[in-house]
Amino acid sequence: MEEIQLIEKRIKKIPRQKIFSVESICRDFSIKTVKNVLNRLKKKNEIGVISHDLYYRPGKSRFFPGQPIPPGAEIITEAVSKKTGEIISVHPAVALNQIGLSTQVPVRQIFYTTGRSRHIKVNGVNRIRLVHVNPKKIVMPNTVTCHVVTALWYEGKRYLKPRIVKKLHGRLKDKYFNEVLMHLDKMPAWMRKVFVRYQNMQPDDPELQEDPDEYWQG
């Protein structure tokens, strides 16, 4: 009984919406006892489950008392990434919105991964979709450069023109745009070529003017 109480005490000290693993609790206790305690706390909604060995202390909501509030998708994917060793990064549809090239946002949580395509379940429900992608398409994960390369690779050569780079420059401002320019070597040749060309163009170049008929897929 004393062991069970110690396990419960340790779990309840974990900050709300923080993810923890079975291993982090089992260092000082038997795995069988830890899992029994976790199952009991789960039934009481005192913890939530992400996978067979990742759990979280739920947040509280004044609107839905008693309903466990899970951590955000970015926190969950970061924890899964650390657990599995795969790289998980923003999906291009999200990246396009975050760098200001699209107003659309995916209704469902979706990320790229170097691991296998699957769903991350939260309390047994599919909450986050992971889509496998070639690792070369994820450069400098979770940086502005990553967002730019991911988004433009998704849209493809046909859409990347100097005026799109100009629009991107305006959205990111000099600070973050210069950060992207520092890492042109991370881009595929066709993408890098357009950025270099943009840098050498005059502001009044016709190719930099907005095209009202141009459709941006984002």
pLDDT for the residue 126: 83
Q: What average pLDDT does this structure show over 96-113? A: 87
Q: How far is CA 122 from CA 38, 47, 90, 158, in A?
A: 15, 11, 19, 38
More confident call, 210 vs 95? 95
Q: What average pLDDT does this structure show over 79-94? A: 92
Cα–Cα distance between 52 and 34 in angstroms, integer? 13
* Token digits of residue 122: 């939260």
Element (H, E) at 128: strand 125-132
Predicted confidence (pLDDT) at residue 100 exceeds the cutoff of 80: yes
Burial (CB count within 10 angstroms: exposed 0-12, middle 13-18, buried 19+), residue 117: exposed
* Token digits of residue 156: 């493809």
Q: What average pLDDT does this structure show over 80-103? A: 91
Q: By the 8 A CB rule, do 101 and 180 touch?
A: no
pLDDT for the residue 217: 46
Collapsed DSSP state (helix, strand, coil) of residue 91: coil
Cα–Cα distance between 218 and 213 in angstroms, integer? 15
pLDDT for the residue 1: 61
The class level of CATH for 2-56 reads: mainly alpha
pLDDT for the residue 106: 78
pTM above 0.85, yes or no: no
pLDDT for the residue 218: 41
Compute, in degrees rounded to 10, the torsion defined by CA atoms 64, 69, 74, 80. -150
Q: What average pLDDT does this structure show over 81-88? A: 94
End-to-end CA distance of the chain: 57
Predicted confidence (pLDDT) at residue 84 exceeds the cutoff of 80: yes
For CA atoms 166, 170, 160, 178, the dihedral sign is positive
pLDDT for the residue 213: 58
In the chain, the percentage of residues whose pLDDT exceeds 70 is 94
Nearest to 20 by CA among 49, 60, 43: 49
Q: By the 8 A CB rule, do 73 and 128 touch?
A: yes
Q: What average pLDDT does this structure show over 130-152? A: 92
Q: Where are the domains of the chain?
A: 2-56, 73-137, 144-207
β-bridge mates for residue 113, sequence order = 88, 132
| DSSP label of 214 | -
Angle at 89 between CA 88 and CA 92, to 5 degrees: 140
Element (H, E) at 89: strand 88-90
More confident call, 67 vs 147? 147
pLDDT for the residue 82: 92
Cα–Cα distance between 188 and 186 in angstroms, integer? 7
pLDDT in tens, 159-209: 999 999 999 999 999 999 999 999 999 999 999 999 999 999 888 888 888
